[in-house]
Amino acid sequence: MKSRQILLFLALAAATFVSLIPVLWAILTSFKQPVDAFTIPPTLVFSPTAEFHYQIWFEKGFWTFLINSLVIAVSTVCISVPIGTMAAYALSRIETPQTRLLLMAILAVRMFPHMLLALPFFVMASMLKLFDTYAIMIMALVAINQPFTIWLMRSFLVDVPRELDEAACIDGCNVWQTFVKVIVPAVRPGIVVTSLFSLLLAYNEFLFALVLTGAKTKTLPVAISEYGGEDITYWSLSAAGAVGIMLPILLFMVFAQRHLIRGLTMGAVKG
C-alpha cells in the first residue's frame, strides 16, 4: 500500500511539473534578453534583467489595464456569485421535471460559442452607447458565467442536508433567514471555490474584452496580445506581462487556501 502511495505521489509530481513547464518558461523568458530567450538549445545560464518588467508596468502603463481587469472581474464575481447561489439554492431544494429542464436550458446557454453571444452584446453596446465601459463588460461576463456559477453552487448545496432547513424553520426562520443564517455559512468553502473560478473566467476573458472594450477599459489579456507576433523583441515583454497577470490570482489563492481545500473536498466523504 505504501509503495502505491509513493508511485502515485511521483506520478502526480511529474504531472504537476509538466503542467508548470509553460509557466516556468514564461518566468525565465521575462528575465532574459531576446537573444537569450530564443537560443537553441535553450540558455539556462544567463544574466537576468528586470528591464522588461519595468517597461511593461511603468513605460507601457500596464497597471491601468490591471485595474480595468480587476474592476471588471471583481464586479462580475460580486454580482454573479450571490445571484447564482440564490438560484442554486432554489434549484437544489425544488426537484421537479421542470427544474431539471431549467438546469439543462441554463447549461445550453453556456455551450453557445462566445462569438455567437459577443456580436449581440456589441450591437447592444452600440445602441445603448455603452461601448468601452465597465457596465457592458460586467453585464456580458455575468450573463455567460451565470450558468457555470449556478451549476457549481448547486453541486455544493445538494450535499447540505435538508434537515438544516427544517430545523431553522422550526426555530422560526423564514426562507430568507434560513438561507442567510444557516445555508450560506454551511457552504462558505463552496462559495469561495465558485468565486475563484468565476474570477478566473472573468479575469482571463479575451474575446468579449476584445469586442467590447476600447482604450479606456482595455483589460490585460487584450493588452498583452498586442505584443508578440514576428518581432521577437516583444516576446520578453509578453512574458513579463503574463507573469504579472498571474500574481493577483496567486495572492487570492494563498489567502483563500484553507477555504479552497475545504470547498474542493466538500461531498468527497459520505457518512
Instruction: Report pTM.
Output: 0.82
pLDDT tens readout for residues 194-232: 988 898 889 989 999 999 998 889 998 888 887 765 556
Return the closest-CA partner of residue 81 out of 154, 134, 137, 136.
154
- Where in the sequence is the domain holding 79, given as residue range(s)? 61-226
Tell me the C-alpha distance between 94 and 240, whole Å.
49
Which CATH number do you get for residue 200?
1.10.3720.10
**Residue 137: band (very low, low, confident or very high) from pLDDT cuts 50, 70, 90:** very high
Q: Establish if 89 belongs to a structural domain.
A: yes
Predicted confidence at residue 263, as pLDDT, reads 57
What is the 3-state secondary structure of 172-227?
A: CCCHHHHHHHHHHHHCHHHHHHHHHHHHHHHHCCCHHHHHHCCCCCCCHHHHHHCC
Q: Establish if 232 belongs to a structural domain.
A: no
Q: Establish if 159 belongs to a structural domain.
A: yes
Q: Establish if 49 belongs to a structural domain.
A: no
**Residue 264: band (very low, low, confident or very high) from pLDDT cuts 50, 70, 90:** low
The count of domains in the chain is 1
User: Which of 52-61, 130-139, 154-163, 249-258 is predicted most confidently?
Assistant: 130-139
pLDDT tens readout for residues 33-81: 877 777 777 777 778 888 888 888 888 888 889 899 999 999 999 999 9
Do 189 and 266 meet the contact criterion of CB atoms below 8 Å apart?
yes
Cell, residue 197 = 473560478
Q: List C-alpha distances in Å: 93 to 56, 100, 155.
A: 50, 12, 12
Q: Establish if 166 belongs to a structural domain.
A: yes
Q: Establish if 65 belongs to a structural domain.
A: yes
Question: Does 260 have pLDDT greater than 50?
Answer: yes
Return the closest-CA partner of residue 38 out of 54, 46, 19, 245.
46
Q: Establish if 264 belongs to a structural domain.
A: no
Predicted confidence at residue 270, as pLDDT, reads 44
Predicted confidence at residue 255, as pLDDT, reads 75
Q: Establish if 139 belongs to a structural domain.
A: yes
Return the closest-CA partner of residue 146 out of 241, 49, 81.
81
